[in-house]
Structure 1
Amino acid sequence: MVQTKPHPVFAPWEDAKATPLIRAQNIRKTFGTFTAIEDLTLDIYEREFFALLGPSGCGKTTLMRVIAGFEAPTAGQILFGGKDITPLSPNRRPFNMMFQNYALFPHLSVWENIAFGLKREKMPKDQVAARVKEMLRLTHLEKFASRKPHQISGGQRQRVALARSLAKAPKLLLLDEPLGALDKKLRQETQFELMDIQERTGTTFIIVTHDQEEAMTVASRVAVMDEGRLVQVATPAGIYETPETVYVADFIGDVNIFEGNADPSSDDKVDIHYAEGSVPIHARMGERVSQGQRVFYAVRPEKIMVAAAPDPERANHARGRVIDIAYVGNISTYHVQLESGQMVSAQMTNARRLSRRDFTWEDDVWLSWTDTAGIVLTR
């Protein structure tokens, strides 16, 4: 029998002895009376593809600029391999930054754009040529080497900017909304190219994005930010499946939020009374809650089944009427109004052709989900 090696698990943040490559320690950044970052501490490890995620104005780009050295923190330190680099200017840090607009030189060819930083460092010509050739091969741009930026597509320009950023072999690459200018299909393709390049080079990447899907696709860990603070730092699966707050649950993907009073039992189960006359939601407790405590229950649409009758094998059932249906090819999202008046989203895979769909507008349906499908939140 052939023995297969287990796939190595990459999780240095779980190793208490591991030293982070970058530590932003007690960072505070103010602009006049406005506080952009408030007492933030964050560890990022070598070879991570780390995402800073949040809405506009949450402080993610400011934090990236503080790490890069373009902004001096009002308080706190930036440590690199345990050494304080806060006083160092950007050009003295072993980092590189790839900007949203790519900042390519329009009069230079792809080859010359990639070589620009190497030439400025007075690298020998033969080494420059070898390094540029390696970067062209890494980013699949060999046949475009002699073209100018206006002669190639947006996705190719993005790869030129990436190749130029990686040419100097930085210990850390900072990417500020690098895929924002690309259309959706190209952006999705480029996400996987970025992941492949990051894995092959072993460079630590930090990406700033407001695109939840992008962060969840590329990152080893995601830091969700709000108003200059870290709300939660976890793997994409941890962020999605076990959010710690209503804000995170609501910000990442689609979710249904029920608010009600807790009625816990002794075996880590809790009933949530969310509407008068409605059967309570049966759930498992992630953290202890007290009798009558106001709690929130978050359950993702894909965890809820739509059927003509309640599923006896699922702990939770609610009756409602189909108000709207969003058909997006592989799935359909049903907006169902419960008898309590609350609107709930449920997603079903379109395994059957549209003409054979079971439910349509104004149909009465039953929603069913398990007691482990959702998560109980206290804030």
Structure 2
Amino acid sequence: MPESDFAPWNDPDEKPLIRFKSVTKKFGDFTAIDDLTLDIYEKEFFALLGPSGCGKTTMMRMLAGFEAPTRGVIELAGQDIAPVPPNKRAVNMMFQSYALFPHLSVYENIAFGLRRGDMPKHDIGDRVAEMLKLTRLEKFAARKPHQISGGQRQRVALARSLAKAPKLLLLDEPLGALDAKLRQATQFELMDIQEKTGTTFVIVTHDQEEAMTVASRVAVMDEGRVIQVATPEHIYEMPNSVYVADFIGDVNIIEGTAKPVGSERYEISWADNKAPLIAASERPFSEGQNCHLAVRPEKIAISAERPADADNAVEGKVLDIAYLGNISTYHVELPGGQIVKAQAANTRRVSRRTFTWEDTVWISWTATAGVLLPQ
């Protein structure tokens, strides 16, 4: 979904579907969620991303009703959901294990929740047929879970979760059991199904690539706090801290001290007897302030000669080369011992590399290629 078409978080009149208001969750002395405030909007595919133990599953369990906040309020569609038991919430949860009934067919697994509700019998058949079609499982309706593949079982769990048309679907590491290729294909299926149903999806994952692929917005978490919430593009190109820059994708972090040299331009002193680096930044820095310049490897060029017009050019030595088919990543050691990664696209089918180990090279990048961060 193009961001320009769908950005309710930028509309001040749009009411969030889910609101965490100063929510804290403690287990004994341990604080799993620390004073969290967060809005999630209707029809969003929202990702909670972070390392194990950062609190993302606890947030999800509170939304599902399996845990209650120690302090603060969680609202769904404007109502405090704390007093509402899990089975009465317009929320469904899809577990990592899928939790399918092994003795029931695919059809019966999907129908199970509907039969326990008060849906008329003739409507159940229609709804199950609709879910089978949505998840492309019509041909497998009579099979048992052990007779279908892992990817198909994942779709059965999804169909069952969506059958009761919840306002909100929670997905806990839903693709964890799938192999890499299937996982990628399933990510796009999930996005397609989410768009078709218009259900709000909240996915918990520690896989940054997954979060960046499927989500309209990503919340990067650490130790019970949300560090940054933004669109995948914004998180990647404009991280608000070294933690976020480092957590998402590959990045070079060069530490130094800043000195303003004009409108939104800074010189960064980073190594003894080395020319300062130049960086553009809308975020202000004072003279002598410690800073971190975060530059993605694909934004750094590598060349045999010093480029004539580069804002930043540093000489170094090739220490290591990672050949990844479409790109090669060069690990270049700078005079101070710092190692910087630079990427080059392998556009031609050649067996001979332009640069090899121990070669002296120049790495260069523009003043706007990096992000200047205070911490």
Shared topology, TM-score over 0.5? yes
**Letter of the 1:38 counterpart:** D
Cα distance in 2 between the residues matched to 1:367 and 1:353: 23
2:117 alignment counterpart:
121
The correspondence for 1:317, drawn from 313, 316, 329, is: 313
1:27 alignment counterpart:
23
Q: Is the 8 A contact 1:270 1:285 kept in 2?
A: yes
Matched, 1:37 2:37: no
2:203 alignment counterpart:
207
Q: 1:7 to 1:290 in 2, by over 3 A?
A: closer
Cα distance in 1 between the residues matched to 2:64 and 2:232: 24
The correspondence for 1:93, drawn from 89, 93, 101, is: 89
The correspondence for 1:106, drawn from 92, 102, 113, is: 102
- Pairs within 5 Å for 1:1-379: 9-379=5-375
- Structure 1, 197-206 or 85-94: larger mean CA deviation: 85-94
Q: Is the 8 A contact 1:286 1:375 kept in 2?
A: no
**Letter of the 1:175 counterpart:** L
Q: CA deviation at 1:144?
A: 0.8
| TM-score of the aligned structures, taking structure 1 as reference length | 0.97
For the residue of structure 2 that corresponds to 1:356, the secondary structure is: coil
Moved over 3 A (4+): none
- Gap regions ≥5 residues in structure 1: 1-5
Q: CA deviation at 1:84?
A: 1.3
The count of residues paired between Structure 1 and Structure 2 equals: 374
**Letter of the 1:270 counterpart:** Y
Cα distance in 2 between the residues matched to 1:36 and 1:144: 41
Q: Is the 8 A contact 2:3 2:216 kept in 1?
A: no
Q: CA deviation at 1:7?
A: 8.9
Q: Is the 8 A contact 1:24 1:67 kept in 2?
A: no
Listed one character per residue, the Cα deviations across residues 106-160 of structure 1 (whole Å, up to 9, x for unaligned) are 0111111001000111322221111111111101111111111111111110000
**Letter of the 1:23 counterpart:** R
Q: Is the 8 A contact 2:23 2:69 kept in 1?
A: yes
- Gap regions ≥5 residues in structure 2: none
Listed one character per residue, the Cα deviations across residues 317-347 of structure 1 (whole Å, up to 9, x for unaligned) are 0111111111111111111101221100111
**Letter of the 1:299 counterpart:** V
Q: Is the 8 A contact 1:53 1:210 kept in 2?
A: yes
Cα distance in 2 between the residues matched to 1:156 and 1:362: 49
- Structure 1, 302-311 or 175-184: larger mean CA deviation: 302-311
**Letter of the 2:185 counterpart:** E
**Letter of the 2:40 counterpart:** I
Q: CA deviation at 1:224?
A: 0.5
Q: Is the 8 A contact 1:94 1:170 kept in 2?
A: yes
- Structure 1, 173-182 or 312-321: larger mean CA deviation: 312-321
Cα distance in 1 between the residues matched to 2:332 and 2:157: 46
**Letter of the 2:5 counterpart:** V
Q: CA deviation at 1:354?
A: 4.0
Cα distance in 2 between the residues matched to 1:210 and 1:310: 40
1:3 alignment counterpart:
none
For the residue of structure 2 that corresponds to 1:61, the secondary structure is: helix
Cα distance in 1 between the residues matched to 2:138 and 2:123: 17
**Aligned-residue CA RMSD in angstroms?**
1.2
Q: Is the 8 A contact 1:47 1:203 kept in 2?
A: yes
**Letter of the 1:150 counterpart:** H
- Structure 1, 238-247 or 7-16: larger mean CA deviation: 7-16
Listed one character per residue, the Cα deviations across residues 288-331 of structure 1 (whole Å, up to 9, x for unaligned) are 10001000100000000111112223211011111111111111
For the residue of structure 1 that corresponds to 2:142, the secondary structure is: coil
For the residue of structure 2 that corresponds to 1:302, the secondary structure is: helix
Q: CA deviation at 1:173?
A: 0.2
